[in-house]
């Protein structure tokens, strides 16, 4: 596939900014416009490109090959993806695992009606990690599989910390337990719950005069969020928080430990170590935008996931070139 | 895809045996017959299943959904794959990288003529490693990519050792240089040749009275094979060779170290640690045999590579189930 891809971005938070940067790294892609629910004229100063209110999207039918949707999974995407899939090819990173079947079905209907292709739930989990779970299960049907997340910030757990009385600000890192990973890499196949695989590190800025012992107690005993985990709480200053915890690192591993033949141990692992979670997710979205356009140009329509897409569709290079140089 | 897959195996070396074992791990697959160039009656004692001379393959048209070809890339597959692709869906592990374009073209023609699907060059390299190179390049277009092999036996280098005068037997392991890998995982992006990434460990059984210093010298200075590498030679007994070096371990890594946004480092890695190289390759072939049959049942024909195949085609589970449970 060598033809040019004209892209729209919907939403301009960290993910939308990341997509704008990712498009700049892909010479076969051009950013046409950014769509927002905010005041487009004000936002245009930040984006530096054509910026439109989301209600203007319809006017771009025929001028945009694919819309990359950068809203959140809680409320934005359930509404925006079906709406936009009726008008454009789309890609999103819908990540509420439990609601994927229902989301797929709604987006599929809208995309079929519009004659468009919608790639849903891409990124790294769901996304690259899902692909590795599927690939490695299919190759090694007898085995155990492990997904670890981190070291990275969990937004939900950080929010939970900030709701504790006496806490001014805070951030929570999910950290995979190294000893467990080392054991699995060495061939062990323990039965583990998520909590046994991860610990939680909290960095908290306390209000002046707050009881730090009380804060720590409240956090480590908080049901659902922290009580079942090995949780540490460290108190830091506002300056430290701004300086040392402003990044959005993340990562993790999918490991499958399988057995073949008469007991040969076969271990496969896919891992990510990301300085910027939103920029990496954005880069995955950009590659899948290419796949959506390619499917659409071949006449396909409907919702697709990473399981439906041949890897060759992600690359700007031709099939011949890929066979010659990468196979 | 839930329907049953009837499989034939062509060739019964280590890979063919591994495929037989892999089929036993996949409840949706049934082994119909093994085809050989040897005396089928004699071989049948080993295989324990219907064993036929390869010239009898044609009689199985309609009874076998896919032939898994387990011959070598030097002489077997260039002849067998086109021949059998005219009659059956096929899967092979053709791994002579430089000849892939020409092989693809011949197999494609034969498969199109026969109305069959032929998945060529699968396994782990070419195969899973190729897929990761393509995937990670497409997601992180700015970056450096590294493929390491080992620790594992190199057949070509083991053969080279055995041709040295005074050597009775021997085996060579390709070993990735750990310090280099650690540096890349930590974010370094050095420019490296294959030789800087790997060292070579040779285990040699010398003839009685042979000059060991002379043998070592000949090996470490052998052009193409060893002269450019950090090579060690250890002398062992025939018993040690049989006891400690009978396995066929292998593995390796594909690492891409990319940059996004304004300099965020993003590192992705896929790695394998295999007790049995042929059994793992065989397991990959079995999964791709499922994909070949599925493509064929959809009406497709021609040669395919791992770049053309949606990952969902590798699994016996339905698309709905995969979305619900693995995405």
Candidate from A137, A271, A287 with C-beta closest to B139: A287
Name the residue facing A307 among B274, B284, B310 (closest C-beta): B310
Question: For residues A253 and A175, is the Cβ–Cβ distance under 8 A?
Answer: no
CA gap A303, A305 in Å, rounded: 7
Pairing of strands B167-176, B198-206: antiparallel
The span from the CA of A18 to the CA of A25, in Å, is 11
**Torsion over CA: B196, B201, B207, B209 (sign):** positive
Task: Convert the pLDDT of each residue in A293-307 to its tens digit.
Answer: 999 999 999 999 999
| Of B175, B156, B163, nearest in space to B224 by CA | B156
Phi first, then psi: give them for residue A67, nearest 5 degrees.
-100, 125
**pLDDT tens-digit series, residues A121-173:** 999 999 999 999 999 999 999 999 999 999 999 888 999 999 999 999 999 99
B257 is in an annotated binding site: no
Looking at residue A127, the DSSP 8-state letter turns out to be B
pLDDT score of B154: 87
Q: Which of A100, A101, A139 to mutate to test the interface with B (most CBs of B within 10 A)?
A: A139
CA-based nearest residue in chain A for residue B104: A323
d(CA B219, CA B41): 42
Q: Strands B167-176 and B66-69: what pairing?
A: unpaired
What is the bridge-based pairing of β-strands B117-119 and B302-304? Answer: parallel
CA angle A23, A29, A34 (to 5 degrees): 60
Query: β-pairing, A302-304 with A152-153?
Result: unpaired
Provide CB contacts within 8 A for A219, sequence distance 6+.
A161, A164, A202, A204, A226, A231, A233
Q: How far is the C-alpha of B250 from the C-alpha of B150, rounded, in Å?
A: 5
Q: Is B311 on the interface with A (CB under 8 A)?
A: yes
Q: Which domains can be identified in chain A, with CATH numbers?
A: 5-124+278-326 (3.40.50.720), 128-275 (3.30.360.10)
Q: Give the residue among A323, A286, A246 at the shortest CA–CA distance from A23.
A: A286
Distance, in Å, from the CA atom of A10 to the CA atom of A289, rounded to the nearest integer, reads: 13
If residue B57 lies in a helix (H) or strand (E), which one and from where to where?
none
Could you tell me the CA-to-CA distances from A168 to A155, A220, B119 in Å, in that order?
Answer: 16, 17, 59
Q: How far apart are the first and last CA of chain A?
A: 18
Annotated binding residue at B36?
Answer: yes
Q: Are A84 and A65 in contact (CB under 8 A)?
A: no
Residue ranges for chain A with pLDDT beneath 50: 1-2
- Nearest Cα neighbor of A149 from A38, A277, A24 is A277
pLDDT per position as a tens digit, A182-210: 999 999 999 998 788 999 999 999 999 99
User: What distances in angstroms separate CA A325 from CA A319, B106, B130, B138, B252, one per listed residue?
Assistant: 10, 18, 9, 14, 19
Nearest one of B175, B144, B173, B152 to B269, comparing CA atoms: B144
B94 is in an annotated binding site: yes
Q: Annotated binding residue at B125?
A: yes
Euclidean distance between CA atoms A30 and A27, whole angstroms: 8
> Rounded to whole angstroms, how far apart are CA atoms A126 and B326?
9
In A248-267, the residues whose Cβ lies within 8 Å of chain B are: 258, 260-262, 264-267
> pLDDT 10s digit of each residue in chain B, 327 long?
447 999 999 999 999 999 999 999 999 999 999 999 999 999 999 999 999 999 999 999 999 999 999 999 999 999 999 999 999 999 999 999 899 999 999 999 999 999 999 999 999 999 999 999 999 999 999 999 999 999 999 888 999 999 999 999 999 999 999 999 999 999 999 999 878 899 999 999 999 999 999 999 999 999 989 998 999 999 999 999 999 999 999 999 999 999 999 999 999 999 999 999 999 999 999 999 999 999 999 999 999 999 999 999 999 999 999 999 999
Number of other CB atoms surrounding residue B3 within 10 Å: 10
Q: Tell me the pLDDT of chain A averaged across its residues.
A: 96
Q: From residue A327, how far is each of A312, B104, B146, B304 by CA, in Å?
A: 11, 11, 14, 12
Q: Would strands A143-149 and A250-260 be described as parallel, antiparallel, or unpaired?
A: antiparallel
Phi, psi of A2 (to 5 degrees): -120, -10
Q: Which residues of A touch B286 (CB under 8 A)?
A: 139
When CB atoms are compared, the residue of A264, A308, A324 closest to B312 is A308
Taking the mean position of all CA atoms in its chain, how far away is CA A64? 23
Beta carbons within 8 Å of B25's beta carbon, 6+ residues apart = A141, A142, A260, B283, B286
- From chain B, pick out residues whose CB is under 8 angstroms from the CB of A314: 134-135, 138-139
Whether residue B269 lies within 8 A of chain A, CB to CB, comes out as: yes
Q: Which of residues 180-219 of A touch B (CB under 8 A)?
A: 185
Length of chain A measured in residues: 327
- What CA–CA distance (Å, rounded) separates B203 from A201? 48
- Prediction pTM value: 0.95
Residues in CB range of A189: below 8 A, 6 or more apart: A143, A144, A257
Q: Provide the terminal-to-terminal Cα distance of chain B, rounded to the nearest Å.
A: 18
- Residue pair A61/A88 in contact (Cβ under 8 Å)? The answer is yes
Q: Which residues pair with A67 in a beta bridge?
A: A8, A90
B92 to chain A nearest CA, in Å?
A: 14
Q: Which residues contact A316 (CB under 8 A, 6 or more apart)?
A: A1, A2, A26, A27, A28, A290, B138
Residues of chain B in contact with residue A282, where contact means CB-CB under 8 angstroms, are 260
């Amino acid at each position: 596939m060598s033809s040019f891809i004209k892209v729209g971005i919907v939403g301009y938070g960290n993910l939308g900014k990341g997509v704008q940067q990712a498009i700049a790294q892909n010479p076969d892609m051009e950013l046409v416009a950014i769509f927002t629910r905010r005041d487009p004229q004000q936002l245009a100063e930040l984006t530096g490109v054509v910026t439109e209110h989301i209600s203007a999207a319809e006017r771009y039918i025929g001028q945009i090959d694919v819309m990359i949707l950068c809203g959140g999974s809680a409320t934005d995407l359930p509404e925006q993806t079906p709406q936009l899939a009726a008008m454009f090819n789309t890609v999103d990173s819908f990540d509420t695992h439990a609601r994927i079947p229902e989301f797929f079905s709604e987006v599929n209907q809208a995309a079929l009606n519009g004659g468009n292709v919608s790639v849903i739930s891409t990124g790294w989990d769901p996304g690259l990690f899902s692909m590795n779970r599927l690939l490695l299960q299919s190759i090694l049907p007898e085995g155990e599989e492990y997904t670890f997340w981190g070291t990275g910030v969990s937004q939900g757990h950080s929010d939970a910390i900030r709701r504790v009385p006496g806490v001014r600000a805070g951030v929570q890192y999910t950290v995979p337990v190294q000893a467990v990973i080392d054991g699995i890499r060495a061939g062990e196949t323990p039965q583990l719950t998520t909590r046994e695989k991860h610990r939680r590190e909290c960095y908290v800025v306390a209000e002046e005069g707050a009881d730090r012992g009380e804060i720590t107690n409240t956090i480590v005993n908080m049901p659902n969020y922290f009580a079942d985990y090995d949780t540490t709480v460290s108190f830091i200053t506002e300056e430290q928080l701004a300086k040392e915890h402003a990044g959005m690192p993340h990562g993790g591993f999918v490991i499958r430990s399988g057995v073949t033949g008469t007991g040969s141990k076969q271990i496969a692992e896919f891992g990510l170590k990301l300085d910027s979670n939103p920029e990496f997710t954005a880069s995955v979205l950009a590659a899948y935008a290419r796949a959506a356009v390619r499917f659409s140009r071949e006449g396909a329509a409907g919702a697709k996931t990473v399981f439906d897409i041949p890897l060759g569709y992600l690359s700007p290079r031709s099939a011949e070139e890929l066979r010659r140089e990468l196979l």
